[in-house]
Amino acid sequence: MRVLSGIQPSGRPHLGNYFGALRQYVSLQEGNDCFYFIASYHALTAVQDAKLLREYTLGVAVDFLALGLDPAKSALFAQQDVPEVTELAWILSCVTPMGLLERAVSYKDKVAQGLNPNHGLFAYPVLQAADILIYLSDLVPVGQDQKQHLEITRDIANKFNQQFGEIFVLPEPYILDTSAVVPGIDGRKMSKSYGNEIGIFEEGSLLKRKVMSIVTDSTPVSEPKDPYTSTPFLLLRLLATPEETAEWEARYKAGGMGYGEVKKRLLELIEEHFAPFRARRRELEADLDYVKDVLREGGRRARTVAQSVMERVREATGLPTSYSPGG
């Protein structure tokens, strides 16, 4: 099965990104043909500093590789290395009803968060559809809150296929296991926009300060506590073994335990779990030429597929090119 997903280059990943998606992207490499792209075109709706966007794009590649993405199994590439995707986005926009875009929940949410409502933000689902359809993707990993965008992609593909013939595969959602919502240090869902994240690659005094500042209630040490309303416990159970999690749950309910104890153990677990990834990231940062080579090869693989699909799209829509490249 061909699996396709993209991640915006908007800064360093945090625990929510890891447990919500990134670790599952790595596991999907086994037995699937995975295409993972860095969505730099999409990031332009919010990041309009050229130097920063270049840094973020390369940084995402380093992060992916450090976390276990294998370029021998998956194509990792930058969105802009496959320019055919923007050509397809225009063609798809010509069969996309306005009402479909006006109903997009994510557009309304982002405007509500203060982003300027530019055309790129409004037309985001069409470019996303092009990202998915141009590689004939079978599965698209999404969270429950992202299903609408995939439904829009399927609607657009149906519109095109009905008008021009069966070119595109209708992708199916692969629902990511997000049953364990990852809370941030303030108790809300972990998010860069809230500034409550714990970074995967943070360490030392910065990591310790964040973990020890996790918000807790004022229940006295001697009193029993509900572990499932406690942010330190909810984070700890993501990293601890089932046996250790059960022990901490019992201690919460018995009383006589302070939140500081849980935070100290959480800090140890984060250090233990992510230490190998941090070490690998330092190696990659020292060899950025390798990272760039991975992106070039991934882009070549992805573009080979995209060019083949676009030949069929151009023929079907009456837009065949009049000359061959280099001819």
Measured over the CA atoms of residue 139, residue 141, residue 147 and residue 150, the dihedral's sign is negative
- Which residues sit opposite 78 in a β-bridge? 38
Indicate which residue of 110, 210, 225, 263 is catalytic: 110
- Would residue 147 show up in a list of annotated catalytic residues for this protein? no
- Would residue 189 show up in a list of annotated catalytic residues for this protein? yes
Tell me if residue 130 falls in helix, strand or coil.
helix
Indicate which residue of 108, 147, 159, 189 is catalytic: 189
| Nearest-angstrom CA–CA distance, 276 and 148 | 36
| Cβ partners under 8 Å of residue 181, min gap 6 | 189, 234
Cβ(140)–Cβ(148) below 8 Å = no
- Structural tokens at position 165: 């013939």
- Would residue 110 show up in a list of annotated catalytic residues for this protein? yes
Max Cα–Cα distance, the chain, nearest Å: 81
Return the number of other C-beta atoms located less than 10 Å from residue 253's C-beta.
Answer: 12
Terminal CA-CA length for the chain: 35
Indicate which residue of 73, 192, 208, 264 is catalytic: 192
Measured over the CA atoms of residue 108, residue 112, residue 113 and residue 118, the dihedral's sign is positive
Residues belonging to the active site? 110, 189, 192
